[in-house]
Amino acid sequence: MEIRKLGNSGLEVSALGLGCMRMSFGDRPIGDHQDMIAFLRAAVERGVTFFDTAEVYGPFTNELLVGEALEPFKGQVVIATKFGFNPGPDGKPTPGNPNSRPERIKQVAEESLKRLRVDAIDLFYQHRPDPSVPVEDVAGAVKELIQEGKVKHFGLSESSADLIRRAHSVQPVTALQSEYSLWWRNIEAEILPTCEELGIGLVPYSPLGRGYLTGKVDENTTFDSSDIRSKNPRFTPEAIKANRAVINLLGRIAAEKDATPAQIALAWLLAQKPWIVPIPGSRKLERLDENLGSVSIELSPTDLLEIDEAIRKIEVVGDRY
């Protein structure tokens, strides 16, 4: 497995990480607990060293799963988790209800350390910006946790270039997690150049367009009501059909490379910058092995230019949310 560094931080991880959310949270059916433990350990055996979770996934169940599964590999893997939401009356954080006040960040850190069964959180992201808390205060709180040895690296997620700069001035940001793929490239104008200038790694989530870029979704595909795609504008039958041009492009290049559309989509991301580490989610070994195969695919400058020119002629239908 190729190893990459997330920016200038020196944090080394496998070139492809693993998004763990859907193993215990999100669209149904979620994975069986013991099966997912075996799956996570199989990923380590295949060379994956970078795993992504969050307290809000469940809540808590995903961190507990990841902590149990990866405990035997302490010191050999990097686990990223996230803070940033307010607890409800039941004490569980609620998505869409931000809370990145310093005291809340420190509370989440203590609780995540226990669930993940680690001595320090490798990478601690602010899950979403909190408009009521200056990002300098957020960075300052994580800086204190780093000084206390409870956190190793600070990350942001879905943050603007301005917020990244402001946070970085207080505590160096190791990585930015943001949606990025062949059909969602909005971060290329300002955010990618900011990351490159400041030496910040990029960790793209949904690198396969929530499954669309695998080529296995068509206008006859149906989604359970628990599946985020059931309410996603890009997954209406009309949008799926309209966006087939993207899949046709990936399929044509995949045929030339003896690969799959998913592998080409991931290889394209990996080829953009050496400090980009995608985290596709998976729950099946065959999908994991397919995704990992992308690391060995080399796209030439000509391939990349052809993809770039073709994709710019395609108008993707539907908002991402």
Task: Name the region of 253 (left: φ>0; alpha: ψ -120 to 50; beta: rest).
Answer: alpha
- Measured CA to CA in angstroms, residue 3 lies from 16, 240, 276, 277, 289 at distances of 9, 35, 11, 10, 17
Q: Which residues are catalytic?
A: 57
The continuous run of DSSP H or E covering 52 comes out as strand 50-52
201 Cβ contact list (under 8 Å, min separation 6): 4, 5, 6, 7, 9, 11, 174, 175, 176, 195, 275, 276, 277
Distance CA 217, CA 211 (A): 7
SS3 of 150-196:
CEEEEEEECCCHHHHHHHHCCCCEEEEEEECECCECHHHCCHHHHHH
Spatial CA neighbour of 27 closest among 188, 216, 230: 230
Distance CA 287, CA 262 (A): 10
